[in-house]
Amino acid sequence: MESSNPAIKFTVQKRIVIISVVLFVGKIAAYFLTNSVGILTDALESTVNVLTGFISLYSIGVSLKPKDANHPFGHGKVESISASVEGSLIILAGLIIIFEAIKRLFSPVEIQQLDVGIMIIAVAGIMNYILGFYSIKTGRKHNSIALVAGGKHLQSDTYSTIGLVVGLSLLLITKIAWLDSVIALLFGSIIIFTGYKILKETTSNLMDQADIKILKELIGLLSKNKSECWINIHNLKLLKYGDSLHIDCDITLPWYMNILEAHKQSESIMSIISENYQHSIDFTIHTDACKTDLCKHCRVSDCNFRKHDFITDLEWTFEENIKTTGNN
Protein backbone atom coordinates (compact mmCIF):
# COMPACT_ATOMS: atom_id res chain seq x y z
CA MET A 1 0.00 0.00 0.00
CA GLU A 2 1.03 3.65 -0.49
CA SER A 3 2.87 4.92 2.56
CA SER A 4 1.71 7.95 4.51
CA ASN A 5 3.65 11.21 4.26
CA PRO A 6 2.86 13.10 7.50
CA ALA A 7 4.42 16.39 6.30
CA ILE A 8 1.68 16.67 3.64
CA LYS A 9 -0.89 17.13 6.42
CA PHE A 10 0.79 20.35 7.55
CA THR A 11 0.98 21.71 3.99
CA VAL A 12 -2.68 20.93 3.32
CA GLN A 13 -3.84 22.53 6.57
CA LYS A 14 -1.80 25.66 5.82
CA ARG A 15 -3.56 26.03 2.45
CA ILE A 16 -6.94 25.54 4.11
CA VAL A 17 -6.20 28.25 6.71
CA ILE A 18 -5.19 30.80 4.06
CA ILE A 19 -8.34 30.21 1.99
CA SER A 20 -10.54 30.20 5.13
CA VAL A 21 -9.24 33.67 6.05
CA VAL A 22 -10.13 34.97 2.56
CA LEU A 23 -13.65 33.47 2.77
CA PHE A 24 -14.12 34.91 6.26
CA VAL A 25 -13.29 38.42 5.03
CA GLY A 26 -15.79 37.99 2.19
CA LYS A 27 -18.59 36.90 4.54
CA ILE A 28 -17.93 39.74 6.99
CA ALA A 29 -18.14 42.16 4.06
CA ALA A 30 -21.45 40.55 3.02
CA TYR A 31 -22.84 40.99 6.56
CA PHE A 32 -21.98 44.70 6.77
CA LEU A 33 -23.33 45.15 3.27
CA THR A 34 -26.69 43.53 4.01
CA ASN A 35 -27.15 43.77 7.81
CA SER A 36 -28.67 40.26 7.66
CA VAL A 37 -28.45 38.10 10.80
CA GLY A 38 -28.80 35.08 8.50
CA ILE A 39 -25.56 36.05 6.78
CA LEU A 40 -24.08 36.73 10.22
CA THR A 41 -24.56 33.01 10.99
CA ASP A 42 -22.26 32.13 8.10
CA ALA A 43 -19.75 34.83 9.08
CA LEU A 44 -19.61 33.64 12.70
CA GLU A 45 -19.08 30.06 11.60
CA SER A 46 -16.26 31.25 9.37
CA THR A 47 -14.71 32.83 12.47
CA VAL A 48 -14.68 29.34 13.97
CA ASN A 49 -13.21 27.96 10.73
CA VAL A 50 -10.31 30.40 10.94
CA LEU A 51 -9.66 29.86 14.67
CA THR A 52 -9.83 26.09 14.47
CA GLY A 53 -7.79 26.16 11.28
CA PHE A 54 -4.90 27.76 13.14
CA ILE A 55 -5.38 25.37 16.08
CA SER A 56 -5.32 22.38 13.71
CA LEU A 57 -2.24 23.77 11.97
CA TYR A 58 -0.46 23.99 15.32
CA SER A 59 -1.63 20.53 16.46
CA ILE A 60 -0.55 18.88 13.20
CA GLY A 61 2.85 20.53 13.55
CA VAL A 62 3.15 19.12 17.09
CA SER A 63 1.94 15.66 15.99
CA LEU A 64 4.79 15.47 13.47
CA LYS A 65 7.39 15.60 16.26
CA PRO A 66 9.20 12.29 16.81
CA LYS A 67 8.75 10.18 19.94
CA ASP A 68 10.78 11.23 22.96
CA ALA A 69 11.33 10.21 26.57
CA ASN A 70 8.26 12.13 27.75
CA HIS A 71 6.06 10.97 24.84
CA PRO A 72 6.96 7.32 24.15
CA PHE A 73 3.87 6.86 21.96
CA GLY A 74 4.50 10.05 19.99
CA HIS A 75 2.46 13.28 19.89
CA GLY A 76 -0.47 12.09 17.76
CA LYS A 77 -3.11 12.57 20.48
CA VAL A 78 -2.82 16.34 20.09
CA GLU A 79 -4.87 16.06 16.87
CA SER A 80 -7.81 14.68 18.86
CA ILE A 81 -7.50 17.54 21.33
CA SER A 82 -7.50 20.00 18.43
CA ALA A 83 -10.61 18.44 16.91
CA SER A 84 -12.34 18.52 20.33
CA VAL A 85 -11.61 22.25 20.64
CA GLU A 86 -13.04 22.71 17.15
CA GLY A 87 -16.26 20.92 18.12
CA SER A 88 -16.60 23.06 21.25
CA LEU A 89 -16.07 26.30 19.32
CA ILE A 90 -18.64 25.27 16.70
CA ILE A 91 -21.22 24.71 19.46
CA LEU A 92 -20.36 28.12 20.96
CA ALA A 93 -20.80 29.79 17.56
CA GLY A 94 -24.21 28.12 17.17
CA LEU A 95 -25.33 29.41 20.56
CA ILE A 96 -24.22 32.98 19.70
CA ILE A 97 -26.09 32.77 16.40
CA ILE A 98 -29.30 31.66 18.14
CA PHE A 99 -28.93 34.48 20.70
CA GLU A 100 -28.54 37.08 17.92
CA ALA A 101 -31.46 35.59 15.97
CA ILE A 102 -33.82 35.80 18.96
CA LYS A 103 -32.70 39.38 19.66
CA ARG A 104 -33.33 40.40 16.02
CA LEU A 105 -36.71 38.65 16.07
CA PHE A 106 -37.95 41.24 18.58
CA SER A 107 -35.92 44.13 17.13
CA PRO A 108 -35.88 43.66 13.33
CA VAL A 109 -33.64 45.84 11.16
CA GLU A 110 -33.78 46.76 7.49
CA ILE A 111 -32.01 44.32 5.16
CA GLN A 112 -30.04 45.88 2.27
CA GLN A 113 -28.33 44.63 -0.93
CA LEU A 114 -29.37 41.07 -0.13
CA ASP A 115 -28.82 39.93 -3.71
CA VAL A 116 -25.10 40.75 -3.52
CA GLY A 117 -24.86 39.09 -0.10
CA ILE A 118 -26.48 35.93 -1.44
CA MET A 119 -23.95 35.74 -4.27
CA ILE A 120 -20.99 36.11 -1.88
CA ILE A 121 -22.37 33.44 0.47
CA ALA A 122 -23.06 31.03 -2.41
CA VAL A 123 -19.50 31.33 -3.81
CA ALA A 124 -18.06 30.87 -0.30
CA GLY A 125 -20.23 27.76 0.18
CA ILE A 126 -18.90 26.16 -3.01
CA MET A 127 -15.32 26.92 -1.93
CA ASN A 128 -15.98 25.40 1.49
CA TYR A 129 -17.23 22.17 -0.07
CA ILE A 130 -14.13 21.87 -2.26
CA LEU A 131 -11.87 22.61 0.72
CA GLY A 132 -13.77 20.09 2.86
CA PHE A 133 -13.46 17.35 0.23
CA TYR A 134 -9.73 18.06 -0.10
CA SER A 135 -9.25 18.03 3.70
CA ILE A 136 -11.20 14.78 4.28
CA LYS A 137 -9.49 12.97 1.39
CA THR A 138 -6.03 13.98 2.61
CA GLY A 139 -6.92 13.28 6.24
CA ARG A 140 -8.11 9.74 5.50
CA LYS A 141 -5.13 9.03 3.27
CA HIS A 142 -2.65 10.20 5.89
CA ASN A 143 -4.66 9.21 9.01
CA SER A 144 -5.22 12.72 10.37
CA ILE A 145 -8.19 13.12 12.72
CA ALA A 146 -7.74 16.91 12.66
CA LEU A 147 -7.98 17.12 8.85
CA VAL A 148 -11.00 14.80 8.69
CA ALA A 149 -12.84 16.71 11.45
CA GLY A 150 -12.03 20.04 9.80
CA GLY A 151 -13.15 18.76 6.40
CA LYS A 152 -16.47 17.50 7.77
CA HIS A 153 -17.04 20.90 9.37
CA LEU A 154 -16.28 22.70 6.10
CA GLN A 155 -18.66 20.46 4.15
CA SER A 156 -21.39 20.92 6.77
CA ASP A 157 -20.95 24.65 6.13
CA THR A 158 -21.85 24.04 2.50
CA TYR A 159 -24.99 22.09 3.34
CA SER A 160 -26.13 24.84 5.70
CA THR A 161 -25.17 27.47 3.09
CA ILE A 162 -27.47 25.84 0.53
CA GLY A 163 -30.39 26.16 2.93
CA LEU A 164 -29.27 29.65 3.87
CA VAL A 165 -29.21 30.79 0.23
CA VAL A 166 -32.69 29.33 -0.30
CA GLY A 167 -33.98 31.09 2.82
CA LEU A 168 -32.36 34.40 1.96
CA SER A 169 -33.74 34.18 -1.58
CA LEU A 170 -37.20 33.70 -0.10
CA LEU A 171 -36.57 36.73 2.12
CA LEU A 172 -35.47 38.74 -0.93
CA ILE A 173 -38.69 37.85 -2.77
CA THR A 174 -41.21 38.19 0.10
CA LYS A 175 -39.60 41.06 2.08
CA ILE A 176 -40.83 39.41 5.31
CA ALA A 177 -38.29 40.68 7.89
CA TRP A 178 -38.77 37.97 10.54
CA LEU A 179 -37.71 35.28 8.05
CA ASP A 180 -34.12 36.45 8.57
CA SER A 181 -34.25 35.50 12.26
CA VAL A 182 -36.02 32.19 11.60
CA ILE A 183 -33.32 31.24 9.08
CA ALA A 184 -30.62 32.09 11.62
CA LEU A 185 -32.35 30.03 14.34
CA LEU A 186 -32.60 27.01 12.05
CA PHE A 187 -28.97 27.09 10.94
CA GLY A 188 -27.68 27.95 14.38
CA SER A 189 -29.26 24.67 15.54
CA ILE A 190 -27.65 22.77 12.63
CA ILE A 191 -24.26 24.24 13.54
CA ILE A 192 -24.65 23.12 17.17
CA PHE A 193 -25.49 19.58 16.03
CA THR A 194 -22.39 19.52 13.78
CA GLY A 195 -20.20 20.57 16.71
CA TYR A 196 -21.76 17.88 18.90
CA LYS A 197 -20.97 15.13 16.35
CA ILE A 198 -17.34 16.23 16.02
CA LEU A 199 -16.97 16.47 19.81
CA LYS A 200 -18.48 13.01 20.32
CA GLU A 201 -16.13 11.38 17.78
CA THR A 202 -12.96 13.02 19.06
CA THR A 203 -13.83 12.42 22.73
CA SER A 204 -14.12 8.70 21.95
CA ASN A 205 -10.61 8.79 20.52
CA LEU A 206 -9.23 10.66 23.54
CA MET A 207 -10.80 8.03 25.80
CA ASP A 208 -9.05 5.29 23.75
CA GLN A 209 -12.37 3.80 22.70
CA ALA A 210 -11.79 0.69 20.61
CA ASP A 211 -11.92 1.14 16.84
CA ILE A 212 -14.25 -1.76 16.13
CA LYS A 213 -13.92 -1.46 12.35
CA ILE A 214 -10.12 -1.84 12.38
CA LEU A 215 -10.22 -4.58 15.03
CA LYS A 216 -12.61 -6.64 12.90
CA GLU A 217 -10.43 -6.06 9.85
CA LEU A 218 -7.35 -7.26 11.76
CA ILE A 219 -9.09 -10.42 12.95
CA GLY A 220 -10.24 -11.21 9.42
CA LEU A 221 -6.76 -10.50 8.02
CA LEU A 222 -5.01 -12.78 10.52
CA SER A 223 -7.62 -15.53 10.06
CA LYS A 224 -7.10 -15.43 6.29
CA ASN A 225 -3.30 -15.69 6.64
CA LYS A 226 -3.26 -18.11 9.55
CA SER A 227 -0.20 -20.33 9.99
CA GLU A 228 -0.77 -23.94 11.08
CA CYS A 229 1.18 -23.30 14.31
CA TRP A 230 -0.98 -20.33 15.36
CA ILE A 231 -3.29 -22.17 17.71
CA ASN A 232 -4.99 -19.05 19.01
CA ILE A 233 -4.71 -15.25 18.87
CA HIS A 234 -6.51 -13.40 21.65
CA ASN A 235 -6.51 -10.32 23.92
CA LEU A 236 -6.26 -8.15 20.81
CA LYS A 237 -6.08 -4.44 21.66
CA LEU A 238 -5.62 -1.38 19.47
CA LEU A 239 -4.91 2.26 20.30
CA LYS A 240 -4.73 5.17 17.85
CA TYR A 241 -2.33 8.05 18.36
CA GLY A 242 -2.82 10.41 15.42
CA ASP A 243 -1.51 8.51 12.40
CA SER A 244 0.05 5.74 14.53
CA LEU A 245 -1.46 2.44 15.68
CA HIS A 246 -0.39 0.48 18.75
CA ILE A 247 -1.40 -3.17 18.55
CA ASP A 248 -1.19 -5.59 21.45
CA CYS A 249 -2.14 -9.28 21.32
CA ASP A 250 -1.33 -12.77 22.65
CA ILE A 251 -0.55 -15.73 20.41
CA THR A 252 -0.65 -19.36 21.51
CA LEU A 253 2.10 -21.52 19.95
CA PRO A 254 3.31 -25.12 20.44
CA TRP A 255 5.05 -25.27 23.81
CA TYR A 256 8.23 -26.86 22.46
CA MET A 257 9.10 -23.96 20.12
CA ASN A 258 12.35 -22.21 21.01
CA ILE A 259 12.60 -18.44 21.44
CA LEU A 260 13.88 -17.86 17.91
CA GLU A 261 11.05 -19.84 16.31
CA ALA A 262 8.41 -18.07 18.43
CA HIS A 263 9.93 -14.70 17.53
CA LYS A 264 9.66 -15.53 13.82
CA GLN A 265 5.94 -16.20 14.23
CA SER A 266 5.49 -12.82 15.93
CA GLU A 267 7.40 -11.16 13.09
CA SER A 268 5.12 -12.90 10.59
CA ILE A 269 2.06 -11.39 12.29
CA MET A 270 3.66 -7.93 12.26
CA SER A 271 4.57 -8.26 8.60
CA ILE A 272 1.03 -9.29 7.55
CA ILE A 273 -0.54 -6.32 9.35
CA SER A 274 2.09 -3.77 8.25
CA GLU A 275 1.72 -4.73 4.58
CA ASN A 276 -2.01 -3.99 4.72
CA TYR A 277 -2.00 -0.70 6.66
CA GLN A 278 -0.19 2.52 5.84
CA HIS A 279 -0.11 3.60 9.49
CA SER A 280 3.04 3.70 11.55
CA ILE A 281 2.51 0.66 13.80
CA ASP A 282 4.01 -0.35 17.15
CA PHE A 283 3.52 -3.98 18.16
CA THR A 284 3.52 -5.78 21.49
CA ILE A 285 3.02 -9.52 20.98
CA HIS A 286 3.05 -11.93 23.92
CA THR A 287 3.56 -15.64 23.24
CA ASP A 288 1.75 -18.33 25.24
CA ALA A 289 2.62 -22.03 25.34
CA CYS A 290 -0.13 -24.46 24.35
CA LYS A 291 -1.68 -26.97 26.75
CA THR A 292 -2.96 -30.49 26.09
CA ASP A 293 -6.61 -29.36 26.01
CA LEU A 294 -5.76 -27.33 22.88
CA CYS A 295 -4.50 -30.34 20.87
CA LYS A 296 -7.92 -30.70 19.23
CA HIS A 297 -7.52 -27.13 17.88
CA CYS A 298 -3.91 -27.50 16.69
CA ARG A 299 -3.10 -28.09 12.99
CA VAL A 300 0.59 -28.94 13.47
CA SER A 301 0.82 -32.27 11.63
CA ASP A 302 4.24 -33.43 12.85
CA CYS A 303 3.75 -32.81 16.58
CA ASN A 304 5.27 -35.62 18.66
CA PHE A 305 3.50 -34.53 21.82
CA ARG A 306 -0.10 -34.57 20.61
CA LYS A 307 -2.64 -35.95 23.11
CA HIS A 308 -5.71 -35.57 20.93
CA ASP A 309 -6.44 -35.59 17.20
CA PHE A 310 -7.21 -32.28 15.50
CA ILE A 311 -10.96 -31.59 15.36
CA THR A 312 -11.54 -27.94 14.56
CA ASP A 313 -9.88 -24.52 14.62
CA LEU A 314 -10.65 -22.11 17.40
CA GLU A 315 -12.94 -19.44 15.98
CA TRP A 316 -11.26 -16.05 16.05
CA THR A 317 -14.30 -13.85 16.51
CA PHE A 318 -14.34 -10.16 17.41
CA GLU A 319 -16.17 -10.90 20.68
CA GLU A 320 -13.61 -13.50 21.78
CA ASN A 321 -10.58 -11.44 20.79
CA ILE A 322 -11.47 -8.31 22.75
CA LYS A 323 -11.84 -10.27 26.00
CA THR A 324 -9.10 -9.58 28.51
CA THR A 325 -8.40 -13.30 28.86
CA GLY A 326 -8.25 -16.04 26.29
CA ASN A 327 -7.46 -19.68 25.72
CA ASN A 328 -3.78 -20.34 26.20
pTM above 0.75, yes or no: no
Q: Please compute the mean of the pLDDT values over residues 158-179 and round it to a whole number.
A: 79
- Using H for helix, E for strand and C for coil, what is the string for the chain? CCCCCHHHHHHHHHHHHHHHHHHHHHHHHHHHHHCCHHHHHHHHHHHHHHHHHHHHHHHHHHHCCCCECCECCCCCHHHHHHHHHHHHHHHHHHHHHHHHHHHHHHCCCCCCCHHHHHHHHHHHHHHHHHHHHHHHHHHHHCCCHHHHHHHHHHHHHHHHHHHHHHHHHHHHHHCCCHHHHHHHHHHHHHHHHHHHHHHHHHHHHHCCCCCHHHHHHHHHHHHHCCCCCCCEEEEEEEEEECCEEEEEEEEEECCCCCHHHHHHHHHHHHHHHHHHCCCEEEEEEEEEECCHHHHHHCCCCCCCCCCCCCCCCCCCCHHHHCCCCCCC
pLDDT of residue 283: 84
Q: Please compute the mean of the pLDDT values over residues 67-71 and round it to a whole number.
A: 59
Show the domains of the chain with their CATH numbers.
Answer: 6-206 (1.20.1510.10), 212-321 (3.30.70.1350)
Is the model's pLDDT at 48 over the cut of 50?
yes
pLDDT of residue 328: 42
pLDDT of residue 46: 77
Is the model's pLDDT at 196 over the cut of 80?
yes
pLDDT tens-digit profile of 245-272? 778 889 999 999 999 999 999 999 999 8
Is the model's pLDDT at 1 over the cut of 60?
no
pLDDT tens-digit profile of 109-153? 667 788 888 888 889 889 888 988 988 888 877 767 667 777 877
Is the model's pLDDT at 57 over the cut of 80?
no
